[in-house]
Amino acid sequence: MSGRIVTFGEALATTEVDDTGVLGPASVAGAELNTAVGLARLGHDVTWASRLGDDAFAGLVRETLRAEGIDDRFVVPAPGEQTGLIVKQRREGDDIRSEHYRATSAASRLRSDDLSAAMLEGAAWLHATCITPALGAGPKGLFENVLHEASMRGIPISLDANHRPQLMTEDELRAVIDDWLDVVDTFFCNEDEARVLTGTTSTDAAIGALARRGPRVVVVKLGGRGAMAGDAGGRRFTPASVVAPPTHPVGAGDAFAAAWISCTLRGYTVDAALPVSAWCAARVVADPRDHGGFPRRAELDAFEAAQREQTEAGR
Q: Looking at the annotation, which residues are catalytic? A: 254
Helix (H) or strand (E) holding 47, with range, is strand 46-49
CB atoms near residue 112 (< 10 Å): 15
Distance, CA of 183 to CA of 139 (rounded, Å): 19
CB atoms near residue 34 (< 10 Å): 27
Helix, coil or strand: residue 30: coil
Q: How far is CA 13 from CA 122, 263, 289, in A?
A: 30, 29, 12
Q: What is the CA radius of gyration of the chain?
A: 19
Nearest 5°: CA angle at 129, between 125 and 133? 120
Phi, psi of 303 (to 5 degrees): -60, -45
Distance, CA of 267 to CA of 271 (rounded, Å): 12
CB atoms near residue 266 (< 10 Å): 15
